Amino acid sequence: MSLRCYVGLGSNQAEPAKQLQLACKALDGLPETRLLSCSQLYRSKPMGPQDQPDYLNAVALIETSLAPLLLLDKLQQIEQQQGRERKAERWGPRSLDLDMLLYANQQIDTDRLRVPHYHMHARPFVLYPLAELEPDLIMPDGTPLQHLLKKCPPLGIEALADMPAQG
Protein backbone atom coordinates (compact mmCIF):
# COMPACT_ATOMS: atom_id res chain seq x y z
CA MET A 1 0.00 0.00 0.00
CA SER A 2 1.40 3.38 -1.01
CA LEU A 3 1.39 6.26 1.45
CA ARG A 4 1.98 9.97 0.96
CA CYS A 5 5.06 11.34 2.68
CA TYR A 6 6.64 14.77 2.85
CA VAL A 7 10.41 15.17 2.81
CA GLY A 8 12.23 18.38 3.70
CA LEU A 9 15.27 19.21 1.55
CA GLY A 10 18.05 21.59 2.47
CA SER A 11 21.52 22.48 1.20
CA ASN A 12 24.05 25.26 1.58
CA GLN A 13 27.14 23.64 0.02
CA ALA A 14 28.24 22.31 -3.37
CA GLU A 15 25.74 24.15 -5.61
CA PRO A 16 22.64 23.98 -3.39
CA ALA A 17 20.05 24.35 -6.16
CA LYS A 18 21.65 21.49 -8.07
CA GLN A 19 21.82 19.41 -4.87
CA LEU A 20 18.07 19.81 -4.33
CA GLN A 21 17.33 19.08 -7.98
CA LEU A 22 19.39 15.88 -7.84
CA ALA A 23 17.75 14.91 -4.54
CA CYS A 24 14.29 15.17 -6.11
CA LYS A 25 15.45 13.00 -8.98
CA ALA A 26 16.89 10.47 -6.51
CA LEU A 27 13.63 10.43 -4.50
CA ASP A 28 11.75 9.63 -7.70
CA GLY A 29 14.20 6.78 -8.34
CA LEU A 30 13.74 5.04 -5.00
CA PRO A 31 12.16 1.59 -5.13
CA GLU A 32 8.40 1.50 -4.55
CA THR A 33 8.40 5.31 -4.55
CA ARG A 34 7.47 8.11 -6.90
CA LEU A 35 7.85 11.84 -6.64
CA LEU A 36 4.45 13.56 -6.85
CA SER A 37 5.56 17.19 -6.54
CA CYS A 38 8.20 19.51 -5.18
CA SER A 39 7.81 23.03 -3.83
CA GLN A 40 9.66 26.02 -5.16
CA LEU A 41 13.00 26.88 -3.61
CA TYR A 42 13.26 29.04 -0.50
CA ARG A 43 16.34 30.79 0.85
CA SER A 44 16.81 30.91 4.62
CA LYS A 45 19.45 31.88 7.12
CA PRO A 46 21.23 28.99 8.84
CA MET A 47 19.71 27.85 12.13
CA GLY A 48 23.05 27.32 13.83
CA PRO A 49 26.34 29.12 13.31
CA GLN A 50 25.85 32.18 11.13
CA ASP A 51 29.34 31.98 9.58
CA GLN A 52 28.07 29.74 6.79
CA PRO A 53 26.14 30.35 3.56
CA ASP A 54 22.36 30.70 3.48
CA TYR A 55 20.39 27.51 2.89
CA LEU A 56 18.15 26.62 0.00
CA ASN A 57 15.13 24.60 1.12
CA ALA A 58 12.20 22.84 -0.46
CA VAL A 59 9.65 20.16 0.40
CA ALA A 60 8.94 17.11 -1.75
CA LEU A 61 5.77 15.03 -1.73
CA ILE A 62 6.35 11.38 -2.46
CA GLU A 63 4.17 8.31 -2.58
CA THR A 64 5.91 5.22 -1.21
CA SER A 65 5.38 1.66 -0.07
CA LEU A 66 8.65 1.68 1.87
CA ALA A 67 8.37 1.25 5.65
CA PRO A 68 9.39 4.35 7.63
CA LEU A 69 12.81 3.12 8.79
CA LEU A 70 13.65 1.76 5.35
CA LEU A 71 12.69 5.11 3.83
CA LEU A 72 14.92 6.83 6.41
CA ASP A 73 17.80 4.55 5.37
CA LYS A 74 17.20 5.42 1.71
CA LEU A 75 17.12 9.17 2.49
CA GLN A 76 20.43 8.88 4.32
CA GLN A 77 21.91 6.95 1.37
CA ILE A 78 20.90 9.78 -0.97
CA GLU A 79 22.54 12.30 1.39
CA GLN A 80 25.74 10.26 1.44
CA GLN A 81 25.76 9.77 -2.34
CA GLN A 82 25.54 13.55 -2.72
CA GLY A 83 28.54 14.17 -0.50
CA ARG A 84 27.04 14.64 2.95
CA GLU A 85 29.51 14.07 5.73
CA ARG A 86 27.97 13.69 9.17
CA LYS A 87 30.02 15.76 11.60
CA ALA A 88 29.68 16.42 15.30
CA GLU A 89 28.80 20.08 14.64
CA ARG A 90 25.06 20.50 14.98
CA TRP A 91 23.41 22.66 12.30
CA GLY A 92 26.65 23.08 10.41
CA PRO A 93 26.98 23.45 6.66
CA ARG A 94 25.97 20.48 4.52
CA SER A 95 25.69 19.47 0.90
CA LEU A 96 22.31 17.86 1.48
CA ASP A 97 19.90 17.34 4.34
CA LEU A 98 16.79 15.19 3.82
CA ASP A 99 14.28 15.06 6.67
CA MET A 100 11.18 12.91 6.77
CA LEU A 101 8.61 15.49 7.84
CA LEU A 102 5.41 13.46 7.66
CA TYR A 103 4.78 9.79 6.93
CA ALA A 104 1.11 9.55 5.99
CA ASN A 105 -0.85 10.44 9.13
CA GLN A 106 1.40 8.42 11.42
CA GLN A 107 3.13 9.52 14.59
CA ILE A 108 6.46 7.73 15.05
CA ASP A 109 8.82 8.09 18.00
CA THR A 110 11.82 5.75 18.00
CA ASP A 111 15.52 6.18 18.73
CA ARG A 112 16.17 6.74 15.02
CA LEU A 113 13.06 8.50 13.78
CA ARG A 114 10.56 11.02 15.04
CA VAL A 115 7.61 11.89 12.78
CA PRO A 116 6.21 14.47 12.50
CA HIS A 117 9.69 15.93 12.41
CA TYR A 118 10.49 17.65 15.68
CA HIS A 119 10.44 21.46 15.63
CA MET A 120 8.91 21.59 12.14
CA HIS A 121 6.10 23.63 13.72
CA ALA A 122 8.62 26.43 14.38
CA ARG A 123 10.53 26.34 11.08
CA PRO A 124 9.16 28.63 8.38
CA PHE A 125 11.54 27.09 5.82
CA VAL A 126 9.59 23.84 6.32
CA LEU A 127 6.04 25.07 6.88
CA TYR A 128 5.77 27.47 3.93
CA PRO A 129 7.00 25.04 1.25
CA LEU A 130 4.76 22.39 2.84
CA ALA A 131 1.78 24.73 2.62
CA GLU A 132 2.62 25.42 -1.02
CA LEU A 133 2.12 21.71 -1.74
CA GLU A 134 -0.92 21.14 0.49
CA PRO A 135 -2.37 24.28 2.11
CA ASP A 136 -5.26 22.43 3.79
CA LEU A 137 -3.05 19.75 5.35
CA ILE A 138 -4.05 18.49 8.79
CA MET A 139 -1.21 17.28 11.00
CA PRO A 140 -1.38 13.82 12.60
CA ASP A 141 -2.39 15.40 15.92
CA GLY A 142 -5.35 17.16 14.25
CA THR A 143 -3.73 20.61 14.03
CA PRO A 144 -4.38 22.39 10.72
CA LEU A 145 -1.21 23.49 8.93
CA GLN A 146 -2.80 26.94 8.57
CA HIS A 147 -2.85 27.23 12.39
CA LEU A 148 0.89 26.48 12.53
CA LEU A 149 1.56 29.07 9.82
CA LYS A 150 -0.21 31.78 11.84
CA LYS A 151 2.16 31.07 14.74
CA CYS A 152 5.27 30.95 12.55
CA PRO A 153 5.63 34.04 10.34
CA PRO A 154 7.82 33.73 7.23
CA LEU A 155 10.57 35.87 8.74
CA GLY A 156 13.98 35.16 7.29
CA ILE A 157 12.83 33.10 4.31
CA GLU A 158 12.55 34.18 0.71
CA ALA A 159 10.69 32.31 -2.01
CA LEU A 160 13.03 32.11 -4.99
CA ALA A 161 11.84 30.09 -7.93
CA ASP A 162 10.51 26.78 -9.04
CA MET A 163 12.79 23.78 -8.70
CA PRO A 164 15.13 23.72 -11.71
CA ALA A 165 14.11 21.29 -14.44
CA GLN A 166 15.61 17.86 -14.03
CA GLY A 167 17.99 16.81 -16.70
Positions marked catalytic = 84, 94, 97, 99
**Measured CA distances, 7 to 10, 15, 38, 89, 121 (Å):** 10, 20, 9, 22, 14
Query: Which residue spans within the chain are E strands per DSSP?
Result: 3-11, 33-38, 42-44, 55-64, 97-103, 108-109, 114-115, 157-159
Sign of the dihedral through C-alpha 23, 29, 35, 37: positive
Half-sphere exposure of 120 (CA within 13 A, CB side): 24
Amino acid in position 76: Q
φ, ψ for residue 19, nearest 5 deg: -60, -45
Spatial CA neighbour of 155 closest among 130, 113, 122, 133: 122
Spatial separation of the C-alpha atoms in residues 63 and 150, rounded to whole Å: 28
